[in-house]
Structures are given as C-alpha cells and as structure tokens.
Chains A and B, each alone.
Chain A
Amino acid sequence: MKQKILSIDNLSILLPAGADRQYAVQHVDLELHAGETVCVVGESGSGKSLTARAVMGLLPAPHVRVAEGSIIFGAEDISKVDYERLRELRGSEISMIFQEPMTALNPVMTIGNQIDEIFRYHVSMSAKERVKKALSLLFEVNLPDPEKIIDAYPHELSGGQRQRSMIAMALALGPKILIADEPTTALDVTTQAQILQLIRDMQKRLDTGVLFITHDFGVVADIADRVVVMQEGKIVETGTAKQVLTKPKHSYTKSLIAAIPRLKPRKARLRASEVVLRAEGVYKSFGSGGSFFGFGKPSREVKAVQNVQLELRRGETLGVVGESGSGKSTLARCVIRLIDCDQGKIELGDVDITKLNRNELRPYRKRIQMIFQDPFASLNPRIRVGDIISQGPLLQGVERHDAVNRAYKLLDTVGLDRRSFDRFPHEFSGGQRQRIGIARALSLKPDILVADEPVSALDVSIQAQILQLLDEIRTQMDLSMLFITHDLRVAAQVCDYVAVMQHGKIVEMGPTAELFVAPKDAYTKSLLAAVPGKDWHFSEINK
C-alpha cells in the first residue's frame, strides 16, 4: 500500500440548533492513500458532502462546524490550522471539483482568468509562463482548441467542457488530494463516462488521492478502489469496492444496491392492439433574436423535434431516451399540447388534437396528464395538497364532494396519509411530493400518463419506490405511459418499448428487450456503453 496522505479520525460535525439532527457527521474515520480512489456513497442528507467540505475547511461557518476529531494531512491537523495556512493548502495541495460546473464557475470571468488566479495566489510565475501553463493544462484535459477556450466564458462551453475546465483548474498545481463532489451527476451519460476516464487518467499521472462523493453505485463500480457507505452521518460500511459491491454486509448497503435500477431489460409483454396515442411527422423548432418588434424571421433556429413518429398502445410504457438537448422533453410537451408543434399530427384515439382550439381541447386534456421532473418546483407552494389534487376534476365539472372524495382515495393509492389533504407541499419530502404529483395527474382519470424524468431528482431508494408505484398504477388502471428519461437503467426497468432520440430525431425504436441486447444504431450503442457500472451490471445479469 502506498503512502497515507489523509486520515480523518473520529470526525463529528455539528449542525446548528433546530436542525433535524444534532450532528451532520458523527465519529467518521476515513483514510486516503496516494493514487487511490475512495468513494463515499450515501443518499442526500447522509453527510457525505459535508465530510468532503470539512477536509477543505469549507463548512458553511459559523453555523456548521467541526465539533470533534481531527483531519490529518501530512503532519498537521487541517481542522485546526489558521485561515492563511488553509488558504495556502486549498487549490495547491488539496483541490475540489463540484457537481454543477455551470454554477461552480464564475459566469463573468473567462476560463483562462479563472485558471490564472490559482497560479497568481500560490506560486510566483511570470504572466507569460502562466498563460503557457494554462494552455498546456487545457490541452491535458483533452479540451479541443485550448487557445480559444482560454478566452471563452463558461456559458460558451458545453457541460462536459466546463467540467474539464474545472478539472484543469483543480489539478493545476498537481495536488496530493482531489475531492470530487458528485462531479458527473449533472452530466449526460456519455459525457459522464469521458469525465470519469479523465479523472482516472489524471490520477494515474499525478498519483493523486481521490475522495469521490457519489450517490451512484454504477459510478462506484467504475472508479472506486475502496468504498465508504454513509447513512445519516455515520459510516455503516467500509471495504474494498469488490467486497462492498459483491458481498455487502450492512443491511443499508444491501438495500441501496438492491434499489439501483439494473440495466437488465424487463421481460417483453404481449402488445395490445389498441393505439391510444399516435404522433406522426411532428416538427417543432424554436427561434430567437434578430427580429424587429418580433416581426420577421428569427436569426437563429433550433430544431428541437424533427419528423417524429410514435405509437403508444394501451397498457404499455413507451420510453423516450436521450441526452440533454435531444428534444425528448419538447416532444412530451408537444404531445400533451403544452406547446404547439409546428407540423404533424398528434392523435388521441382517433382525434387529431393539434387542430383543436382551447375549448375543443378541454375534454381531451383530462385523458392525457403529465408528471413533472422537479417535485419541488412543479407544485404550487401556496395551495394545499387536497386542492392541488381536486382542482383538475373541479375544472372539468365534477361536483366538489366527489372531487374531494376522489382526492382522498388517490392519497391512499399513492401511499400518502389522508391527513396530507390539508397540508402544504413544502411539508413533504421529494419522494412524497412526487407522489402528490402522481395523484394530481391521476385525479382526472387519464388514459395516458406522460412522465417527464419523474425520478431523476430523487434518491435511488426513493426512485425505486416511485418506479414501482408507477408500475402498479399502470397495471391497476390500465394506463398507457410515455416515459421520458435520460437514464437507460431506469428505462430498462420500466419500459416495454424504447425510442432513442438524438438531435430531435428518433434514431432507433424497438422493444426494450431487443434494443438493449442488440442495439443497431451507433448512438444507441454508445449510450449503452457509457452507462456507469455497466460491467458490474452485466456480470450480474449473466449470473
């Protein structure tokens, strides 16, 4: 084993009075060696991020602070050194990359300037040398055209390029420790695979110890040497990656691993013959700028959806899979006419709803309902849960008494207490809110549910519960579902049929079982190849 570079002993982090627990992190022991990757895994609120921030001395002072324990780096305890020493260490000996590279970079400063700062505040180099070093760093993280990127602002780069720039920044001075706080969570699956590869390469070259925070066991399987599993601020299990992934000891670890959607496609079911929704030749483009008072042609046009054909049969779940910007959400919005498509037909049963006006559309609205991605933003914070659920039926002319009764029944269906009726959305957790969103969608007794990334904002264990709930409801109510997702593992688990979208077009469509085992299109293949923890999944499938 290589030299030990970091050892956290008996670390406890105190939360401010009035928080839901006294300690964010309690009695945590952790070691990191040079060239090693330790993954800290846990769900939101497990204290994994705060542990990482404590190492950087970046706890949100003065409310959250280290109460007990030590963080030994080299010969000193960095939880006790003064601010100036901490500043010297940050960025040079220990550096960090974050989840959301867009917000983690200063939006009004060029990438070059943001790299340059690190040199200016840690080493003395001439301006010329600094520029040269920055260029070579950008080159090392495989950014195309470093001369251009050095003068670019963050918004001019793609998500992956931004994260590469962050990594260039973090590794500028060859730190001993790199702390990566969910660095790939906000990225598309193919980009994620590339960034993970980049971190591994750079680690090998610099012999950096990587403390990798993640909630995703797939990523763990790809990158970890050792794993630390945290639950409610305590470490429940540590071990080598192989041990934890194949023979988890603690029940929490077991349940977490069990909750991960497998890349194993669900079994094919018999397809019904009744078509409930058909989209034909749908086009939608967005334009912006260039016009005089909004007249005339926009100067820039984005073709979000191009010539899409879909067919959804009764009782089945059709997945629309794609990376961000592929047009999958726009398609979903066109299908339920939240936005109007430019061209094409969308037939609900045998009626083309694209031609209907507001009033004519109303009776069809209730037949197709949507579940949204963000359970926090999609519920009106000032309206009680009961009203949120019963509002739809009331608008459609259902008697108040019946609508309320229906709302109570739906609360039962989605597994919420009937007392939730009089509460406000903020009193619920993310998973519970998504249940409210589902109840709201079901309150109109729809034939079709359009679910736009319904679980991507949720923890894995909650995710599994919601997916199961959706599946149960679909069978119970004989619903058809259009399921939009970026996560192939989720798609594999819930969809009967999958359509893969890229640049607004459907590149491949077929039964899940076939498409996942024998993809035809190159893009589908690359998506499947990029799924984190793929080898681990397949070894399990083959077992």
Chain B
Amino acid sequence: MTRSTKIFKYVGKRLLQGVPIILAIVIINFFLLNLAEGDAVDVLAGEAGSATPEYMAQLRQKFGLDQPLPIQLMVYLKNVLSLDLGYSFRHDMPVNELIFDRFAATGLLMTSTIILAVGFGVLLGLLAAMRLNTWKDAVITVFALITYATPLFWVGLMMIVVFSLKLGWFPTSGMTNVAAFYEGWDYVKDVSRHLVLPTITLSLFYLALYTRMMRASMLEQYGQDYVVTARAKGLTERRITYVHVLRNALLPVVTMAGVQVGALIGGSVIVESVFAWPGLGMLAFESLFARDLNLLLGIFLLSSMLVVAVNLIVDIIYCFLDPRIEVN
C-alpha cells in the first residue's frame, strides 16, 4: 500500500472515530447546560416583566421545554442527525443560519491568528536561538515574557486606545463599516482593516508561547548528535540551521499549535467582545445569558467538530513533517 492510500484510509478511519466522539460531546453538553437553573422562558418572562404562570407554561409547551429531559435529548439528537440544530427563540431564527453566518467571522479571525502566531512565533524563536545570548535574544525573550503575561482584554483595550483613537489607523470595532456598503475588492479591504487589531490581540499570547517553544526546541535540537555529524561532514552553519535543525525543531510547535486551536475559540470570546467582532464567541456569550440552549448547543457542536477536524489536519501535516510517524 502506498503512503497516499494509507493516508486516505487513515483519514476515513479518523472521521469515523470522530462521530461517536462528537455525539458524546453533544450528550454531555446537553445535560451540563440543563443543570443550570432557569430556561429561555424564565429569561423571556423576566424581560417582558408581566408574564403570568399560565402564559409561561404555554410558552414552555410551545418550545417543548415541558417534556422530560431524556425525551428532549432524543428529539434534539434526532434533529442534529438530520442536520437541523433547532430554533433560537431569542433571535427568532433557525440556529443553522445564525451559526454559519457567525462561523465565517470566527473562522477568519482564527485562521489569521494562527498564521500570525505560528509564523512569527517560529521566526522569532529561530532568530532568538540563532543569536543566543545577544541583545536580539534578550529583546525577543523579554517581549515574549511580557506578552505572555499580559491579559488579553487589556491588550485589546490598549490597542483600541493607541491605534484607533489616538492614531486613527484602524477602526475601533466591528467587522465592516456598516454605513459604507462596500462591495467587491473594497469590501475585502474594509474587512482586512477591521481584522488587524483583533488578530494581533488574540495572537500575541500564542505568539509568545510559540516563540518560547521554538527557541527552546531549536536549542534542544542544536545539542543533538546529528548536528555534530552535520558539522563533521563539513556543512555550513547556515545549512545546518535551516535544513537540519529547523525541520526537527518545528515538530513540537506544530503539535502544540494543533492542540491549542480549541483554546483559541475560548480566547476569541474575549477578543470578540472587546472588538464587537460578530463571531461565534460573542454569540455564545450572549446566548449563555439568554438561556438560549439550542443556540449554545449548536455552537458547542460546531466547535467540537472544528477541533476534531483541526486535530486531524495537524496529524496529517505531522505525517509529512516527520517520516517516523506511521500512518495506520
């Protein structure tokens, strides 16, 4: 069997394994969320201010909230399997529509964040390791330490203060300029201008992490025997660093980046709130307080699928980076 058919089979198997995992996540989430006091009806009634118990019971019946939990779960699972995530009472919209709209925004933010964090993290770590114990190394290390230790929301606020309010380079919030109605290329430019600050804010922490990891990983690899062999073969230091050490040093960083995609979704809640970025994080945050369980479950489902998919992608990348990993 060739390597590519092996990988193809492997992907199929992993996707198959993903199904029970995601189902389990849905079920656990369902019970977890129902453990919380109150439901959507309580919130609606509270906001309306003058709901009678009869009206509330009527609403519950309409939403299916009067059924026992196992039945609710069964109904929900049946709907999920037919790709229907239910209806958000809060937003008066099907959850599917609501989520997929927001998902694009979060996806964009996450992708740009990962590229920025991994790309620059690797670059800075490499530079620090190559210039070990010089001022460049010191500057990079201190920068990594500070950004690692600074809370996300504070960085976000300071970014707005400096780059939006004082310098006026970037917009303060949102994803598009609502008043402008851009189309085509102008729309892309507008979104990218809005994307800059949230991306930098969200990526700083991970950037610091990958910088430190890459630096440590490079230093560890420099100490390996094969580096001595490479020197004994009369290779240039440039070749040793960029060809021999770099590829080996990347492996742990890629692993880490894959694991942290899940955490990124969590981090995006804060950043999306600060920058009013219309993504999943903000939606999840709102729906939690509105007890909009259908919507929340839908978001959880989508993010768990995302994590499973990203892990698979990382594993495949890893196979290509490291020939020692066997696909089976």
Q: Least Cβ distance of B60 to chain A in Å?
A: 39
Contact A117 B226 (CB under 8 A): no
Residue of A88, A90, A155, A166 near B231 (CB, 8 A) is: A90
Contact A117 B324 (CB under 8 A): no
Q: Are A56 and B232 in contact (CB under 8 A)?
A: yes
B120 vs chain A, min Cβ distance (A): 23
Interface presence of B138 (CB below 8 A): no
| CB of B230 within 8 Å of the partner chain | yes
Once the chains bind, are A108 and B247 in contact (CB under 8 Å)? yes
- Cβ proximity bits B108-121 to A, threshold 8 Å, 1 near / 0 not: 00000000000000
Which of the residues B233, B248, B322 comes within 8 Å of A121, measured between beta carbons? Answer: B233
Q: Which residues of B contact A58 (CB under 8 A)?
A: 228, 231-232
Residues from chain A with a CB closer than 8 A to the CB of B326 are 289
B328 touches A299 (CB 8 A): yes
Complex CA–CA separation, A108 to B322 (angstroms): 6
Q: Would you give the 0/1 interface string for A32-48, flagging 1 where the beta carbon is closer than 8 Å to chain B?
A: 00000000000000000
Task: Tell me the chain B residues, 188-235 only, with Cβ under 8 Å from chain A.
Answer: 224-226, 228-235
The chain B residue with its CB closest to the CB of A94 is: B232
Q: How far is the CB of B320 from chain A (nearest CB, A)?
A: 10
- Note all chain A residues with C-beta closer than 8 A to B309: none
Using Cβ atoms and an 8 Å threshold, which residues of chain B touch A107?
A: 226, 248, 322-324
Given A153-B324, A155-B324, A292-B13, CB of A98 within 8 Å of CB of B229:
yes
B294-328 near A? 1/0 per residue, CB < 8 Å: 00000000000000000000000000011110101
On chain A, the residues within 8 Å of B328 by CB distance are 289-290, 299
Known: A104-B226, A290-B328. A117 touches B235 (CB 8 A): yes
Q: Is the CB of A169 within 8 A of B228?
A: no
- Give the distance to chain A from B130, nearest Cβ to Cβ, in Å: 16
Q: How far is the CA of A118 from the CA of B234 in the complex (A)?
A: 7
Is B150 part of the binding interface, using a Cβ–Cβ cutoff of 8 Å? no
Q: Is A90 a contact of B232 with CB atoms below 8 Å?
A: yes
Q: Which of A106, A169, A289, A292 contacts B244 (CB 8 A)?
A: A106
Interface residues of A in 62-99 (CB under 8 A from B): 87-92, 95-96, 98
Interfacial chain B residues near A117, Cβ < 8 Å: 230, 233, 235, 239
Judged by a CB distance under 8 angstroms, whether A126 is at the interface is no
Contacts of B324 in A (CB 8 A): 107-108, 153, 155
**CB neighbors of B among A137-174 (8 A):** 153, 155, 166, 169
Which among A92, A106, A292, A293 is the interface contact of B226 at CB below 8 angstroms?
A106
B226 touches A87 (CB 8 A): no
Also in contact, A155 and B248, with CB within 8 A (given A92-B234, A98-B229, A104-B228): no
Per a CB cutoff under 8 Å, which of B226, B243, B322 touches A105?
B226
A169, B226: Cβ atoms closer than 8 Å: no
Residues of the A chain whose Cβ atoms lie less than 8 Å from the Cβ of B243: 109
Using an 8 Å CB-CB cutoff, how does the interface string of B12-27 with A read, 1 for contact, 0 for none? 0100110000000000
Interface membership of B134, Cβ < 8 A? no
A103 at the interface (CB under 8 A from B): yes
- Separation of A153 and B236 alpha carbons in the complex (Å): 22
B233 touches A91 (CB 8 A): yes
The answer on a CB contact under 8 Å between A91 and B232 is yes
Which B residues are in CB contact (< 8 Å) with A293? 17
| A91 and B234 contact, CB distance less than 8 A | yes
Are B225's CB and A121's CB within 8 A?
no
List, in ascending order, chain B residues with CB within 8 A of A347's CB.
none
Most chain A CB within 10 A, of B16, B230, B243, B248, is at: B230
Which residues of A are found within 8 Å of B230, using beta-carbon distances?
106, 117
Q: Which residues of B are found within 8 Å of A88, using beta-carbon distances?
A: 234
Digitize B227-268: 1 where CB-to-A-CB distance is under 8 Å, 0 elsewhere. 011111111100100011001100000000000000000000
Residue ID in chain B nearest A110 by CB atoms = B323
Residues of B within 8 A of A122 (CB): 234
Indicate if A100 sits at the interface (CB-CB under 8 A): yes
Please indicate the chain A residues that have their CB under 8 angstroms from the CB of B247 in the complex: 108-109
From 294 to 347 in chain A, residues with beta carbon under 8 angstroms from any chain B beta carbon are 299
CB-CB < 8 A to B234: which residues of A?
Answer: 87-92, 118, 121-122
Say which residue of B228, B236, B321 sits within 8 Å of A108 (CB atoms).
B321
Q: Which of A96, A106, A108 contacts B232 (CB 8 A)?
A: A96
Chain A nearest CB from B154 CB (Å) reads 39
Question: Is B233's CB under 8 angstroms from A95's CB?
Answer: yes
Partner of A104, one of B13, B16, B229, B323: B229
Q: Which residue of A lies closest to B224 (CB)?
A: A103
CA distance A98 to B226 in the complex (A): 10
Are A153 and B235 touching (Cβ within 8 A)?
no
A56, A107, A299 interface centre (most CB from chain B within 10 Å): A107
A44-59, CB < 8 A from B: 56, 58
Q: Give complex CA distance A92, B232 in Å.
A: 9
- For the complex, what is the distance from the CA of A118 to the CA of B235, rounded to whole Å? 7
Closest A-chain residue to B322, C-beta based?
A108
Nearest CB in chain B: distance from A176 CB, A: 14
Cα–Cα distance between A352 and B19 once the two chains are bound (Å): 45
Q: What is the distance, in angstroms, from B42's C-beta to the closest C-beta of chain A? A: 40
Q: With A91-B233, A103-B226, A299-B328 in contact, is A108–B323 under 8 Å at CB? A: yes
| Residues of chain A contacted by B229 (CB below 8 angstroms) | 96, 98, 104-106, 166
Note all chain B residues with C-beta closer than 8 A to A290.
Answer: 328
What is the bound-complex CA distance between A379 and B247, given in angstroms? Answer: 34
Q: What residues of chain B lie closer than 8 Å to A153, measured between beta carbons? A: 323-324
Complex CA distance for A121 and B238, rounded to whole angstroms? 12
Q: Which residues of B contact A56 (CB under 8 A)?
A: 231-232
A294 to B243, CA, bound (A): 37
User: How far apart sit A100 and B322, CA to CA, in the bound complex (Å)?
Assistant: 20
Bound together, the chains give a CA A88 to CA B236 distance in angstroms of 9
Which of B17, B225, B228, B236 meets A87, CB within 8 Å?
B236
Nearest chain A CB to B318 CB, angstrom units: 11
Q: Which residues of A contact B322 (CB under 8 A)?
A: 107-108
Contacts of B225 in A (CB 8 A): 98, 100, 103-104
In the assembled complex, how far is the CB of residue B105 from the closest CB belonging to chain A, in whole angstroms?
A: 35
A91 to chain B, nearest CB (A): 3
A360 to B229, CA, bound (A): 53
A53 to B: closest C-beta gap in Å: 8
How far is B231's CA from A90's CA once the two chains are assembled, in angstroms?
8
Closest CB in chain A relative to B166 CB, distance in Å: 47
Complex Cα gap A292–B328 (Å): 11
> Out of B228, B239, B323, which one reaches A98, CB within 8 Å?
B228
Closest residue of chain B to A90 (Cβ to Cβ) is B234
- Per the bound structure, the CA–CA distance linking A166 and B230 in Å amounts to 11
Report yes or no: A292 in contact with B17, Cβ–Cβ below 8 A. Answer: yes
B232 touches A95 (CB 8 A): yes
Q: B235 to A106, Cβ gap below 8 A?
A: no
Query: Which single residue of chain A is at the shortest CB-CB distance from B13?
Result: A292
> What is the distance, in angstroms, from B20's C-beta to the closest C-beta of chain A?
8
Give the residue name and chain of the B residue nearest to A103 (CB): B225
CB<8 Å pairs between A and B, sample of 5: A90-B233, A103-B226, A108-B321, A118-B234, A121-B235
B positions within 8 Å CB-CB of A: 13, 16-17, 224-226, 228-236, 239, 243-244, 247-248, 321-324, 326, 328
Given contacts A98-B225, A108-B321, A117-B235, 11 further A-B contacts (CB under 8 A): A58-B228, A58-B232, A87-B234, A90-B233, A95-B233, A104-B225, A106-B229, A106-B230, A106-B244, A107-B323, A292-B17
Pairs A-B, 9 closest by C-beta atoms? A91-B234, A90-B234, A91-B233, A103-B225, A289-B328, A96-B232, A106-B226, A153-B323, A104-B225
